[in-house]
């Protein structure tokens, strides 16, 4: 691979950070220690990491009801997210957003929107602002496959196309919208075929290949920044966790699930690094141990952090 070892290990590290973060909070949630609900990102890590690794300072991403992976990939700390999940004032949204509204504009992530496709017009609007201000920044809009049948998706993507805005629309096709199989909801064979109706390029790529995703991100962002407009990128992947809390995934056929797990992005990339002698087992395990320590410290500090004062409830409201 034509990449420095340091860069490849940074991709691996970020994917493992997301996986371990999600696995840790799954138990905090199931044990009733963490409040609220969560939608998790296990299995889709290569998409957030591949795309966010191609971003620059000043670029912005939008996210969905499944935002933890996007936030970690964009550089929000595990601690600032965990504090938010515990509803603490020290969280990235002062504890007022919770899981589905994670974000930090200073880090280049608009607080996530849980309404399916709700962030599409917002990403388009931020890209319009970049263009009007003559900035070379770009927006990356992550959506699920379920978003493509929402009106907001059509309106947002069409407007981005018409005005050739610097935005990349990224569909994370994990084959399900909650428990509904994606290809029972559309007649097209590829969701990227929808790009034709907006007159923009559409591609379908392997969303479990982190380096491939990174390369597509580089190409489509270059296009966006140079005034050539948006691209619709469909990343094929699989959600190897439940849709949300306590979902046992009974609707995922056993053989489909088994083969998807064999294709999951982290083990695949790890095997690749080892086979190409780009890293040793010891080095990769040490990365995992570092991350375990980082997450444990974040959990400890989140649980110890102060709860918001009741009188703060009406602060930061937009009226």
CB closer to ligand TPP, 132 vs 178: 178
**Binding segment for Mg ion among 144-152, 212-220, 253-261, 266-274 (CB under 5 A)?**
144-152
Cα–Cα dist 230/220, whole Å: 8
Is position 177 an interface residue for ligand TPP (rule: CB under 6 A)? yes
The terminus-to-terminus CA distance of the chain in angstroms comes to 53
Q: Does 45 bind Mg ion (CB under 5 A)?
A: no
CA-CA distance, 136 to 124, in Å (whole number)?
15
x/- map, 241-260, ligand TPP, by CB under 6 A: --x-----------------
Report, in Å, the least distance between residue 295 CB and Mg ion: 26
Closer residue to ligand TPP in complex, CB, 130/176: 176
Q: Which is nearer to ligand TPP, 50 or 166 (CB)?
A: 50
What distance in Å separates the CA atoms of residue 233 and residue 200, rounded to the nearest whole number? Answer: 11
**69 contributes a contact to Mg ion by CB under 5 A:** no
Segment lying near ligand TPP (by CB under 6 A), choices 88-96, 144-152, 199-207, 282-290: 144-152
| Residue 178 binds which entry of Mg ion, ligand TPP, none, CB below 5-8 Å type-dependent | ligand TPP
Q: What contacts 71, CB < 8 A, 6 or more positions away?
A: 63, 81, 92, 102, 103, 104, 109, 112
Per the CB < 8 A criterion, the answer to whether 85 and 99 are in contact is yes
Nearest 5°: phi and psi at 49? -70, -45
| List of residues contacting Mg ion (CB under 5 A) | 144-145, 174, 177
């Amino acid at each position: 691979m034509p990449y420095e070892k340091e860069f490849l290990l940074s991709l691996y590290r970020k994917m493992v950070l997301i996986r371990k973060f999600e696995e840790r909070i799954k138990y905090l949630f199931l044990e009733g220690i963490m409040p609220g609900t969560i939608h998790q990102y296990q299995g889709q890590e290569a998409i957030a990491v591949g795309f966010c690794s191609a971003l620059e300072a000043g670029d912005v991403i939008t996210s969905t009801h499944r935002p933890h992976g996007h936030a970690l990939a964009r550089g929000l700390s595990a601690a600032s997210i965990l504090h938010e999940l515990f509803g603490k004032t020290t969280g990235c949204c002062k504890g007022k957003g919770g899981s589905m509204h994670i974000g930090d504009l200073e880090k280049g992530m608009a607080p996530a929107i849980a309404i399916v496709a709700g962030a599409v017009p917002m990403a388009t609007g931020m890209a319009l602002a970049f263009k009007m201000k003559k900035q070379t920044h770009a927006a990356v809009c992550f959506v699920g496959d379920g978003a493509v049948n929402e009106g907001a998706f059509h309106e947002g993507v069409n407007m981005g196309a018409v005005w050739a805005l610097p935005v990349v629309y990224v569909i994370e096709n994990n084959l399900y919208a909650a428990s509904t199989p994606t290809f029972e909801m559309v007649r097209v064979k590829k969701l990227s075929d929808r790009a034709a109706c907006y007159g923009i390029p559409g591609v379908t790529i392997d969303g479990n290949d982190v380096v491939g995703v990174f390369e597509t991100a580089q190409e489509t962002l270059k296009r966006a920044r140079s005034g050539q407009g948006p691209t619709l990128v469909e990343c094929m992947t699989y959600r190897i966790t439940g849709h949300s809390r306590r979902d046992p995934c009974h609707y995922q056929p056993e053989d489909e699930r088994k083969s998807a797990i064999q294709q999951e992005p982290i083990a695949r990339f790890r095997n690749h690094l080892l086979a190409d002698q780009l890293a040793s087992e010891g080095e990769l395990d040490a990365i995992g141990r570092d991350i375990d320590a980082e997450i444990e410290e974040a959990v400890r500090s989140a649980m110890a952090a102060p709860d918001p004062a009741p009188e703060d409830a009406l602060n930061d409201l937009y009226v």
